[in-house]
Amino acid sequence: MEKTYYEVLGVSEKATIDEIKRAYRELAMKYHPDKNPEDKTANERFREIKQAYDVLSNPSRRQKYDNYLRMKREGRLPNQQTYQSVASATNGGQGTGGVYPRGYTPKRGKDVDYELTISFRESYFGTEKTIKVSIPGPCRVCNGTGFDLSSYVLCPTCYGAGYVIQTVQTANGPVSKSITCPTCKGVGGNYLRKCSRCKGTGSDMYLEKIKVKIPAGVENGAIIKITSKGGYGFFGGPRGDLNLKMKVEKDENFWRVRNNLHTKIVISFVKAILGGRAKVNTLKGEEIIPIPEASTLGTELIVEGEGFPDPITGERGDLIVEVEIDVPEDLTEEEIEIIRKFAEISGIDPMDPEAP
Ligand SMILES: [Zn+2]
Ligand SMILES: [Zn+2]
274: helix, strand or coil: helix
CA distance 189 to 155: 4
User: 103 CB contacts (<8 Å, ≥6 apart)?
Assistant: 186, 187
CATH 3.40.190.10 fits 5-90+149-191, yes or no: no
Ligand 2 centroid to Cα of residue 201, in Å, is: 7
Ligand 2 centroid to Cα of residue 180, in Å, is: 28
The whole-number pLDDT of residue 55 equals: 86
The whole-number pLDDT of residue 154 equals: 81
- 188, 162 contact by CB (below 8 A): yes
For 155-221, the DSSP string reads -TTTTTSSEEEEEEEETTEEEEEEEE-TTTTTS-EEESSB-TTTTTS-EEEEEEEEEEEE-TTPPTT
- A 10 A CB-CB count for 197 gives 16
The whole-number pLDDT of residue 67 equals: 78
pLDDT tier at 143, thresholds 50, 70, 90: confident
Q: What percent of the chain has pLDDT over 70?
A: 91
Closest CA to 106 of 202, 234, 239: 234
Ligand 2 centroid to Cα of residue 193, in Å, is: 11
Ligand 1 centroid to Cα of residue 173, in Å, is: 27
- 142, 198 contact by CB (below 8 A): yes
Higher-confidence position of 70 and 9: 9
The whole-number pLDDT of residue 89 equals: 33
The whole-number pLDDT of residue 77 equals: 52
User: 263 CB contacts (<8 Å, ≥6 apart)?
Assistant: 253, 254, 255, 280, 281, 282, 319, 320, 321, 322
Q: Once rounded to an integer, what is the mean pLDDT over residues 8-32?
A: 91
Most confidently modeled of 25-34, 188-197, 339-348?
339-348
Q: Once rounded to an integer, what is the mean pLDDT over residues 172-184?
A: 84
Pinpoint the residues of the chain covered by CATH 1.10.287.110: 5-90+149-191
Residue-wise pLDDT tens digits, 223-263: 999 999 999 999 888 999 999 999 999 999 999 999 999 99
pLDDT tier at 97, thresholds 50, 70, 90: very low
Pinpoint the residues of the chain covered by CATH 2.60.260.20: 112-138+205-248, 255-345
Alpha-carbon torsion angle 250, 256, 259, 262, nearest 10: -130
User: 147 CB contacts (<8 Å, ≥6 apart)?
Assistant: 90, 101, 191, 193, 194, 195, 200
CA distance 33 to 40: 8
Average confidence score pLDDT of the chain: 85
CA distance 111 to 354: 67
Q: Once rounded to an integer, what is the mean pLDDT over residues 199-218?
A: 94
Q: Once rounded to an integer, what is the mean pLDDT over residues 203-228?
A: 95
Give the 3-state DSSP-derived string for 103-122, with helices as H, strands as E and coil as C.
Answer: CCCCECCCCEEEEEEECHHH
Distances (CA, A) of 106 to 66, 103, 128, 133: 27, 10, 33, 23
Model confidence at 309: pLDDT above 50:
yes
The structure's pTM equals 0.62
Ligand 2 centroid to Cα of residue 178, in Å, is: 34
Higher-confidence position of 179 and 321: 321
pLDDT tier at 329, thresholds 50, 70, 90: confident
Q: Is the four-CA dihedral 143, 147, 150, 152 of positive or negative sign?
A: negative
The whole-number pLDDT of residue 102 equals: 44
Q: Could you tell me which CATH number the domain at 112-138+205-248 has?
A: 2.60.260.20
Model confidence at 83: pLDDT above 50:
no
Indicate which ligand has the atom closest to the C-alpha of 142.
Answer: 2
Which residues face 176 on adjacent strands? 167
Q: What is the DSSP letter of 308?
A: P
Indicate which ligand has the atom closest to the C-alpha of 189.
Answer: 1
- 144, 200 contact by CB (below 8 A): no
Model confidence at 303: pLDDT above 70:
yes
CA distance 61 to 69: 12
Indicate which ligand has the atom closest to the C-alpha of 138.
Answer: 2
pLDDT tier at 75, thresholds 50, 70, 90: low
- 122, 115 contact by CB (below 8 A): no
Which residues face 130 on adjacent strands? 211
Indicate which ligand has the atom closest to the C-alpha of 140.
Answer: 2
Ligand 1 centroid to Cα of residue 295, in Å, is: 89
CA distance 83 to 80: 5
Indicate which ligand has the atom closest to the C-alpha of 141.
Answer: 2
Pick the CATH number of 255-345 from 2.60.260.20, 2.70.98.60, 2.60.40.10, 2.20.25.650: 2.60.260.20
Indicate which ligand has the atom closest to the C-alpha of 196.
Answer: 2
